Amino acid sequence: MRLLVLHGPNLSQLGTRDPTHYGTATLADAVAVVRAVHPDTDSAQYEDEGALVRRVHDARRDGTSAVICNAGALTHYSWALHDALELLEVPIVEVHLSQIHAREPFRHHSVVAPVADVSISGAGLVGYRLAAEAARALLGLESSSGEESSSGE
């Protein structure tokens, strides 16, 4: 079962700012975190909404079993990405490095969330490990006996 890690605009620049203040982790590191949990993992990063949409369409046919998606700023207005993800009938995990609910108001609303099974924000690179585990659980790969699905807030 293959995971696809999708990144949106500006995430290509991770790790390129002053390492003293911002750390040295890069997008490759983020993908490596996912691969450490689930080796069969593809990844892609695009600055273009259209390219993201096309990659999601491809995932409908290339054996992708689940998607981990950090759409960058497109998270907040790309209804085209929302529609593409809605068409894709595999589990989707939304992840953000920072706690988007504690930043500028425009980042408090996600148009990806309504079509994502799980949302994780604020855990930095660790969030990618959590996302990989969430994706695996959604695929039934590692739900332990005590973690049977449940309802409630």
Q: Which of residues 94-113 bind its own copies (CB under 8 A)?
A: 96-102, 106-111, 113
Identify whether the C-beta of residue 70 lies closer than 8 Å to the C-beta of residue 7.
yes
Identify whether the C-beta of residue 127 lies closer than 8 Å to the C-beta of residue 93.
no
Query: Residue 139 interacts with its own copies (CB under 8 A)?
Result: no
**Which residue reads 């953000």 in tokens?**
96
Out of 3, 6, 53, 67, point to the residue binding its own copies (CB under 8 A): 53
22 is catalytic: yes
Task: Give me Rg for the CA atoms of the chain.
Answer: 15
Query: Residue 23 interacts with its own copies (CB under 8 A)?
Result: yes
Out of 1, 2, 124, 139, point to the residue binding its own copies (CB under 8 A): 124
77 is catalytic: no
Q: Among residues 42 and 120, whose Cβ is nearest to its own copies?
A: 120
C-beta neighbour count of 23 within 10 angstroms: 14
Out of 40, 62, 63, 126, point to the residue binding its own copies (CB under 8 A): 126
Q: At what angle do helices 79-87 and 49-59 cross, to 10 degrees?
A: 0
Integer Cα distance of 25 and 3 in angstroms: 21
Query: Residue 119 interacts with its own copies (CB under 8 A)?
Result: yes
Out of 1, 2, 43, 125, point to the residue binding its own copies (CB under 8 A): 125
Show the tokens assigned to 65.
């079993």
Query: Which residues have a catalytic role annotated?
Result: 22, 96
